[in-house]
A and B are shown apart, each in its own frame.
Chain A
Amino acid sequence: MNNSFTSIEDKWKKSKKSIQYSDMNMTSIYEKIGRINSDNIKFYYGTLMILTLTLVVITGFFKFVAPVKDVASIIGAGLMILGLCFRILTELKSISKIKKVQIHENTMQTIEKVIRFHEHRKIIHTIIMPIILLLYTIGFYMITPEFLKYLAVELVILFDAIYLIMIIVLYIQFRKGIKKEMQNIELTFNLKHSVLNNVNT
């Protein structure tokens, strides 16, 4: 076996001389590097910015546009805002987890961190997000009675129906998210095994 592999090595040594990286033009690499920073900001902070904006809009709505007065409504608005704050915190945690994945570390360290990241995302999708959504929903329906004082019943029913549709869409998204994270975990585990275990002969 060693002899035949030595012949493979010899063949490789001879042929590799003809394989040179010919594109030494650094311009395209530097152009891509320039784009990386803005892509990274979008990747890491895109969702965070959307969530923060939503929080500002909702808080502004309850403070300046429709300041609720009933205790139940105030608690409801508080639950909605609290749910969003909680969601922002989970996003910050995700960013910190993904930033811990360092491409220059050894393969096992990288794989372990990727697995931890996807496990964290799975917990977010399976436990944290439904709790946040529940808080948000309870909050939303606690406000409804006060809205009925100022708005037509049909309009409030329309709001509730739209909210219900939104919940169904979000539920489908969570299911997809869970499936995606499970696939990622499985794939990364397979990679880990493929690095650790022996090849199939």
Chain B
Amino acid sequence: MKTKKTDLFDSLHKEYATMVLHMCLGFMSGDREKANDLVQEVFIKIWTSLNSFKGLSSYKTWIYRITVNTCLQLIRKEKNLVTFPINEYSNPVAEDSLKDKEDDAAQLYHAIGQLKEADRLIIMMVLEGQSNEDIAEVLGIEHTTIRVKIHRIKKRLNKILSNE
């Protein structure tokens, strides 16, 4: 029999799995297999932390926090995160998607993969339409700091993409 917790967990998974996948793909430079594993790890952490959710922020912000922390924890675990070159982007992001859209995404993930790990996560949140305030809340840093930081990351990403 399903409990209240599993119902909530299932609905969070249904609603936010794709959002988490986008973050993980950005972090993993587009490697779908590794990103999928990371998504699973994020949701396992969501499950174990679900009882601690106090409702002080939205579920979305809370899940972003867990996603960012899980990704950064991976760096500590693996010491060095490998940046995957574009030709290793072999696993299509969606089987029924159009080729050019995949190429666009692959190119973007590749460019994002050249940023520092923390910056990858920040730019993914920017692309997902998160406000500066929300990103600052997820990271626990000053709003002004994040504004300057995002500006620099955008500049860096533009530079990488224009060089490709």
In the complex, the answer to whether B157 meets A5 with C-beta atoms within 8 Å is yes
Question: Are B76 and A184 within 8 A (Cβ)?
Answer: yes
B94–A107 CB distance below 8 A: no
In whole angstroms, what is the CA distance A11 to B107 when docked? 10
Chain B 127-149 interface residues, beta-carbon cutoff 8 Å to A: 127, 137-141, 145, 148-149
Q: Is the interface of B mostly helix, strand, loop or mixed?
A: helix
**Contact partner, A102, options B49, B149, B162, Cβ 8 Å:** B49
Q: Is B108 engaged at the interface, CB distance under 8 Å to the other chain?
A: yes
Pair count A-B, CB < 8 A: 158
A145 to chain B minimum Cβ distance, whole angstroms, is 49
Q: Bound state CA distance, A106 and B61, in angstroms?
A: 10
Interface centre among A9, A104, A183 (most CB of B within 10 A): A104
Provided the pairs A8-B157, A103-B66, A107-B138 are in contact, do residues A198 and B148 lie with their beta carbons within 8 angstroms?
yes
Contact B66 A29 (CB under 8 A): no
Query: Which of A9, A14, A20 has most chain B Cβ within 10 Å?
Result: A20
B108 and A32 within 8 A (CB): no
Residue of B nearest to A23 (CB): B36
- Indicate whether A194 sits within 8 Å of B21 (C-beta atoms), given known contacts A15-B102, A15-B105, A108-B141: no
Q: Which residues of A have CB within 8 Å of B20? A: 21
Q: Decide if A199 touches B52 in the complex (CB within 8 Å).
A: no
* Other-chain residue from A15, A19, A29, A199 in contact with B21 (beta carbon distance below 8 A): A19
Question: Of all chain A residues, which has the CB nearest B97?
Answer: A18
Nearest A residue (CB) for B158: A4
Q: Given A187-B75, A198-B152, is A18 in contact with B66 using a C-beta cutoff of 8 Å? A: no
With A15-B108, A107-B69 already in contact, the answer to whether A29 and B13 are too (CB < 8 A) is: yes
Q: Tell me which of A29, A114, A187 contacts B43 (CB under 8 A).
A: A29
Name the interface residues of A113-150: CB closer than 8 Å to any CB of B: 114
- Kindly identify, within residues 39 to 57 of chain B, every residue whose CB is under 8 Å from any CB belonging to chain A: 39-40, 43-45, 47-49, 52-53
Q: Which residues on B are within 8 Å of A, measured CB to CB?
A: 10, 13-14, 17-18, 20-22, 25, 36, 39-40, 43-45, 47-49, 52-53, 62, 65-66, 68-70, 72-73, 75-76, 79, 93-98, 101-102, 104-105, 108, 115-119, 127, 137-141, 145, 148-149, 152-159, 161-162
Closest 7 CB pairs of A and B: A18-B97, A106-B140, A108-B140, A21-B17, A15-B105, A15-B104, A19-B93
* 5 interchain pairs, CB-CB under 8 A: A1-B154, A15-B101, A21-B17, A104-B49, A194-B118
